[in-house]
Amino acid sequence: MQVGSRRAVLNPVSGDGDHAESVERLLSARGFAVSRTEGPGDAFDLGRAAGEASASEVAVAGGDGTVNEVVRGLTRAGHLGDVTLSVVPVGTANLLAGTIGVADRSQGIAVADTGEVRAIDVGLADGEPFLVSCIAGLPAEASLAASSELKARFGTLAFLVTGAQEAIEFDGLDISLEAVGENGPVTWSGSATCLLVGNARKFVERGGQADMEDGLLDVAIVERMPTGNLVAEAVGHRLLATDTDGVTHLRATALSVDGHGEPVRFSRDGEVTEHERLDVHVRERTLDLRVGPGYDPDPGE
């Protein structure tokens, strides 16, 4: 790989798996040297190799999990701040692509070639990067148990809550949280249904894109509540509303989550890990990312 080169990482089995030949052909025509993944961990290795070779641009054709692997590889190589990343959505959920205004694979290929470049924030959870979200509790558990259809609706907590009722048993999280909030220190302790930390997504009633360039993470804590209340609020699309009892919203530059000696399962852009304590912070405008025409640099509240 030569300095200044364009590289693409293609996951041929993402989504419906019918995209590999056409996507490789179209990216190659735009000057990308395409490498296909063959199994778990390959996207991480290819991202690290691209970083170690000082690639100027890296396109990722896959779902959110493939993007996360490549970003972790670039981070491991110390190259995340020196590359321009683009996303060609061919996965199941494609949350990041949708958030940054890339509607489909055809648009993703065009954006990878000539799309506008924005410097966006990157979240770090114990040093591992995430672009969309880092979550704990019921959504993290449901991401393991849910069907592909539910995963495609991952951005809507209502579907996770109702869909997970019969799939898993969940006892809640006994956690303490300390945060550096935008208006000063914030602490929280108790039993929670879920903890939601968003970089690209904001967790409010209607969901949607967070401000990815403000140096802040959007955080929501949903207190443990009876299952009937939880489902009723979720079905009514009020669970994450700012005036719902038992829901705490804040924006923070950093936070620490303590599981009081018990491991807590977190899903970081779909990558599931367990931690008794997790430190999360944001690196402001660290990654150059090509965005689509639907991206809003200032989404507001």
* pLDDT of 186: 97
Closest CA to 42 of 16, 72, 80, 15: 72
* pLDDT of 232: 56
DSSP 214-226: SS-EEEEEEE---
d(CA 214, CA 79) in angstroms, rounded, equals 22
pLDDT band per the 50, 70, 90 thresholds, residue 18: confident
* pLDDT of 249: 92
* pLDDT of 227: 64
Residue 71 pLDDT > 70: yes
d(CA 301, CA 154) in angstroms, rounded, equals 21
pLDDT in tens, 177-210: 999 999 999 999 999 988 999 999 888 766 678 9
- Token pair listed for 98: 């949708």
* pLDDT of 222: 86
> Contact 282/216 with Cβ under 8 angstroms?
yes
Per the prediction, the chain carries an average pLDDT of 86
What is the residue whose two structure tokens read 């490789």?
Answer: 24
* pLDDT of 301: 61
pTM assigned to the model: 0.88
pLDDT in tens, 219-263: 999 888 766 666 556 645 566 777 778 889 999 999 999 999 999
pLDDT band per the 50, 70, 90 thresholds, residue 48: very high
Percent of the chain scored above 70 by pLDDT? 81
pLDDT in tens, 271-285: 889 999 999 999 999
pLDDT in tens, 135-181: 998 766 555 444 444 444 444 454 445 544 544 456 789 999 999 99
d(CA 178, CA 231) in angstroms, rounded, equals 28
* pLDDT of 161: 53
Look at 234 and 1; give whichever has higher pLDDT: 234
> Contact 83/132 with Cβ under 8 angstroms?
no
d(CA 296, CA 21) in angstroms, rounded, equals 32
* pLDDT of 74: 98
Domains identified in the chain and CATH numbers: 6-114 (3.40.50.10330), 130-284 (2.60.200.40)
